[in-house]
Structures are given as structure tokens and as C-alpha cells.
Amino acid sequence: MKHLLAAAMLAATLGVGFVRSAIVTAQAPEPKVILITFDGARTEEIFGGLDVDVLTSTLSEGKKLDDNDTYKRFWAETPEARREKLMPFFWGVLMRQHGSIAGNPRAGSAVTLTNTHRFSYPGYAEVLLGEAHDAEIKSNDPLRNPYVTVLEEVQSRLKLTKAQVAAFTSWSVFNAIVEHQEGSVTVNAGFAPFDSPDPLIQELGRLQRETVTPWSSVRHDIYTFRFAMDHLQRAKPRMLYLALGETDDWAHDGRYDRVLDAYERSDAYLRQLWTWIESEPTYRGQTHILITTDHGRGHTPKDWRDHGAKVEGAQDVWIALVSPGMTRRGEWQQQPPLRTNQIAATLAGWMGIDWRALRPSAGGPISAN
Ligand SMILES: [Zn+2]
């Protein structure tokens, strides 16, 4: 306190800016964690952008690839150029300058699920628990998670408020997935109302119910993202989970054009999120981000729409990491495989919690140095 008083006296002669910077530098950095998932995002699109075989298979009879709008927007000669066209911020900035990504088979890297179901609830549960529970977690029905998640454990162990650990998700079933004990963290899932003092966000809260999707339990990702950003800026949570859904839902519907649109939009959300983090002194240099998916899907034009226990390829996933403590950049090359059951321990570790001390059968944290 004494040195701040001295700083204040000095500031009387030097100007108020000095006091502000003295106070800011006196604050210890406090880790923040952001988990982001793109539902059912295949390694093909993440690492290679437009899959021309899949796009071709969706063209109606007599239509030419060269005349197709999606082809014109996203085609390039190499996988590296195609993925950067699809996700320019993720590949051109985030993975180049700030983080790394595992799971590209062409680079000798793999990430696989440990659960054998290969659909959403078991995938998200594996992410949030650090282990598969195949016998108990085996449907997408909105059944309460039988285990305490990493979000809840961080909230209670660090004695955080409900607002400080928050999940914003496009799919309503996350109400059941993210919490074992209902009401322990903030959850805004599906078409749930969202309160904000901002009139624009209030208007979005109304519009989400009018701009219907083809799916009864999934809203458009834009609402999920905007509500998450509003909460981030207002409540400054220590742990935020953003779960986007459209990469999966359009794929089930066979709309490959809209699948690629969803990747492009998700990339723009990442850019907005990162821009805010960099502009915010309490987040810049203290925020750990993990981006992944709940499952893959089939590798071929015959089964790219599907996933599940019987679909080869649905076990193949990927994990991107952006952390102040990690020096690796770009793609993981020739590395031992990672598994989705390592994510919970990684997130907990960033918050100073040893997840395997709590769950000895969970996967261990990922070290990327
Ligand atoms: Zn799905």
C-alpha cells in the first residue's frame, strides 16, 4: 500500500497515467482458460480446407465444379492454401504466431477419442471429465452428467463465483453435460434466454427464437458467440467454454456448402475473441486457449455426413493449443499420438489444479514445449 501512496504523490506532479500503470503492474497475472469446440469438425477440413471429392459428390446432376460458388470461394491447389482460405485467422495468425495444433495424419500426428461411441455427449463428457465412461454415458439424451466436470471442479476449488466459470453452447443438451450439480456454473445452452444490459444483445436474445434453424435443439452459432463475448467482457470469467455446433448439423443435412460457411464464420469468431483478449490487460498474456472437437466423421464422400461407433474416421480428432507457456508453433510433426482424455487435465493444469490427483484414471496433461 505504501508504495502506491508514494506513487500517487508522485503522480500529482507527473500526471494520473503513472498511478494507473503502477496499479496495473502491481497485479499478479491470473490464469484464464478458454475452451472452444467445433462440433464434429473433421481433420480433412481443419488441415486441408475444402474436400473436393465431398463437394463434387454433393453437386446435382449436370452441374459443374468450376461453376460452383463454394468451389470458387475455397479452392486452392495445396491443402495448406485451402485451409488458409477457409480459416485465414486460425492458420494465418493464431497457429503461425501464437499456438500449435496436433492431429494432422499427413504430418505424422494423431489425436483420437478414447470413448468408442463417437458421437456428441460421450465426446464432450470425455473432454470435460478426462476419461470415457462408455457404459454409463451412451446417448445424446439430456441426462444429467453422472460425474463432476472440470468446469465445476475449477469453480469450487478456486472458490470462484458462478459467473466466473461459464459455458455458452449452441446445443441445448449441454445443460446436462457441463454440470453434475445443476446451478454450479453459468450455462447458456440452446435457445435459452440471455440477460444483458446492452440493448443490442437484448435484441439478439429475441431474434434467436425467430431465426429458426432446421434443428430443434441447436441455435445458430452467432447467438452463442455474441452472448459469450458479452459475458466475457462484462463478467470477466476465469474459465469460459464456447461450444459451436453448425459444423456438425449442416454436415448431417448434407449441406457441404454450409459446413464450409460455418468454418469460415467460426474463424471470424476466433479473430474477434483473440482481438479482445489482446486488448484486455487482465487477459493478454494470461489466457490459455484449447480448441478441439467432440468427434470426427467418415473420411469419404460416402460417409462424411455421419459419425458413430461404426463409422471409420469418427475417432480421428485434433487439438489446438494457445498458451503463454507453450513455445511450439504450427503443426505438430512426427509426434506420439494424443488423446481426447488429456484435455481435462490440460485445462485444470493451466488453472493450477492437478486433475490426475483427483481422477487417477484420467489422461495426463498435454505438454507442448
Ligand atoms: Zn453429429
| Alpha helices (H) along the chain | 2-14, 16-26, 43-48, 52-58, 69-74, 79-86, 88-89, 120-129, 150-157, 174-177, 199-210, 221-235, 246-252, 256-279, 343-350, 355-358
* d(CA 267, ligand 1 centre) in Å: 20
Angle, helices 199-210 vs 221-235, to 10°: value is 160
231-264 pLDDT, tens per residue? Answer: 999 999 999 999 999 999 999 999 999 999 999 9
**How far is residue 166's CA from residue 81's CA, in Å, rounded to a whole number?**
35
Please report the pLDDT score of residue 67 as a whole number. Answer: 97
**Residue the block writes with cell 492431429:** 103
* d(CA 297, ligand 1 centre) in Å: 8
Please report the pLDDT score of residue 15 as a whole number. Answer: 46
* d(CA 278, ligand 1 centre) in Å: 33
**Cα 43 off chain centre by:** 15
Q: What is the mean pLDDT of the chain?
A: 93
Predicted TM-score (pTM) of this structure? 0.92
Q: Which helix (H) or strand (E) holds 242?
A: strand 239-244
Please report the pLDDT score of residue 28 as a whole number. Answer: 72
**Closest among 175, 165, 343 to 241, alpha carbons compared:** 165
* d(CA 197, ligand 1 centre) in Å: 34
* d(CA 367, ligand 1 centre) in Å: 30
321-337 pLDDT, tens per residue? Answer: 999 989 999 999 999 99
58-76 pLDDT, tens per residue? Answer: 999 999 999 999 999 999 9
282-322 pLDDT, tens per residue? Answer: 999 999 999 999 999 999 999 999 999 999 999 999 999 99
* d(CA 114, ligand 1 centre) in Å: 17
271 within 8 A of 289, measured Cβ to Cβ: no
Dmax (CA) for the chain in angstroms is 79
**Closest among 152, 170, 171 to 162, alpha carbons compared:** 152
Please report the pLDDT score of residue 29 as a whole number. Answer: 83
* d(CA 39, ligand 1 centre) in Å: 7
The C-alpha cell that represents 198 in the structure block: 446492452
**How far is residue 216's CA from residue 228's CA, in Å, rounded to a whole number?**
21
Residue 14 has pLDDT above 70, yes or no: no
List the single range of 11-20, 215-224, 297-306 with lowest mean pLDDT: 11-20
Residue 9 has pLDDT above 50, yes or no: no
Please report the pLDDT score of residue 161 as a whole number. Answer: 97
Higher-pLDDT residue of 127, 26: 127
* d(CA 252, ligand 1 centre) in Å: 7
289 within 8 A of 99, measured Cβ to Cβ: yes
**Cα 234 off chain centre by:** 20
**How far is residue 244's CA from residue 357's CA, in Å, rounded to a whole number?**
31
Residue 12 has pLDDT above 70, yes or no: no
147-181 pLDDT, tens per residue? Answer: 999 999 999 999 999 999 999 999 999 999 999 99
Please report the pLDDT score of residue 369 as a whole number. Answer: 63
91-135 pLDDT, tens per residue? Answer: 999 999 999 999 999 999 999 999 999 999 999 999 999 999 999
